Amino acid sequence: MPQPTTTDVKWDSVRKYKLTKMLNDLSKISGHGTELVTVYIPPKRPIHDVLAQLRNEAGTATNIKSDLTRNHVQDALNKTMEQLKLYKEPPENGLVIFCGAIPTGKGIGTEKIEIFTVVPPKPVQINLYRCDDHFWIDHIKEMLKDDRTIAIISIDTQEAGLGILTGDRWETIETLTSGVSGKHRQGGQSARRFERLRDNELNEYYRRVADYAQKIFIDQYTVKGLIVGGPGPTKETFIREEYLDYRLQNNVIATLDTSYSGDEGVREIIDKVNDQGIMAEFRSMEEKKIVKKFMGEVFSGKGLGVYGLHEVVNYLKAGIAESIMATDNIDLIYIEVNCNKCGNTFEKFVERNQLIETKQIIISTPCVKCSSLDYQIKEKDFIDYLEEFASLSGTKLDIISSKTEEGAQIESLGKIGALLRFKPMS
């Protein structure tokens, strides 16, 4: 299980994938006793305060009756304290540490003390120390939820509600009444004049809603998408006639029918968004764009869209790959094998569930150059391997969800693809 970096980095799809994967691995670990240590440190908490607390816990641990559990807890606390001494103060978002006796699969007493240190994607909001039979990961899992701000407009001819949705939180920012007269049913010239006046009132009302939308959604908040709803055809007219600022007009992600407008309409839209999974779909829009561009190049015949493990890796190492996309279920390990006697080196990519078997075959097979069985084997998670070469060549790396239609397309091509900077010479 790779230890994540603790440097402050942009939380792109790769960082989120790696942290999610680590948390999934940690969630499967169960200690033999209450010997798995979890520490959450907020950004402003002094490190010396945390160290003092852990020293006190280490003293208390001497009362644990089980020798094995007592030793594991003390070892985990000591290792955590040694890690904390590397910091003068917590990073900007605080710090989360998981440390404990990780089962090796070889029986009780063969556990290995391992530590995982994470600078989370958002500031730590809690002081937490737990020593339990499992790691406390729920708080950091919450941090991985999408918190992009979505704009909401609920509109009909009588009123409009403007709200925002951020993660699980939503609120109505402004409610506007139109002042537009109801439809006139009398015939004759007066009716036509009345309708013209009403159209002018509607036009002014739409412009007023659009002005408020710009002030709230562009000037006050930085929204990443817009959902428009309401009863009847008003919402479609409002969008079709392009009253909105182009930055909002071009980012409408859904249009919903509701029974109400205004504040109640905003609330109804939130319910529909949750019921219909619209936010999940929105989160995949970036992936849709990435995969659509890639598949377009694959089928264009220009040679700039390539796929397959070894082909993509070779272009990446050559610096030709402009961007790489891999599915989140590409569970590979990169291994580098060195013969200690003659220096012969070769590398392989192995499915994680075949790693142990593959290593056993390697160490029992004589070196092709000197027939020695003395090897050194280094291993690395495949995404870490890709990220290392991508950073050297300025290649963009994206992790695509395997649960979407786009992810299935990449999976059918070997779970990995690349867009090249130029078509390589034959």
Residue 5 has pLDDT above 60, yes or no: no
Across 352-374, average pLDDT: 93
Contact criterion met (CB below 8 Å) for 125 and 142: no
Which pLDDT does position 316 carry in this prediction? Answer: 95
Domain with CATH 3.30.420.60 in the chain: 149-283
Tokens representing residue 113 in the block:
């003390």
Cβ partners under 8 Å of residue 242, min gap 6: 249
Which pLDDT does position 170 carry in this prediction? Answer: 85
CATH-assigned architecture of domain 149-283:
2-Layer Sandwich (3.30)
Contact criterion met (CB below 8 Å) for 260 and 229: no
Does CATH place domain 287-420 in 3.40.50.720?
Answer: no
Residue 104 has pLDDT above 60, yes or no: yes
Looking at 3.30.960.10, 3.30.590.20, 1.10.3720.10, 3.40.50.300, the CATH number of the domain 13-143 comes to 3.30.960.10
Neighbours of 101 (CB within 10 A): 26
Looking up tokens 């034959």, which residue turns up? 426
High-pLDDT (> 70) share of the chain, %:
92
Q: What is the spatial distance between Cα 265 and Cα 27, in angstroms, rounded to a whole number?
A: 40
Which pLDDT does position 4 carry in this prediction? Answer: 36
- Cα–Cα distance list, 376 to 127, 333, 335 (Å): 43, 16, 10
Q: How confident is the model at residue 2 (pLDDT cuts 50, 70, 90)?
A: very low
Across 42-63, average pLDDT: 93
H/E segment holding residue 116? strand 112-118
Which pLDDT does position 3 carry in this prediction? Answer: 37
Looking up tokens 């009302």, which residue turns up? 205
Residues 84-98 pLDDT 10s: 999 999 999 999 999
Residues 182-226 pLDDT 10s: 665 555 557 777 778 888 999 999 999 999 999 999 999 888 889
Domain with CATH 3.30.1330.30 in the chain: 287-420
Report angle CA 148, 154, 159 to the nearest 5 degrees: 140
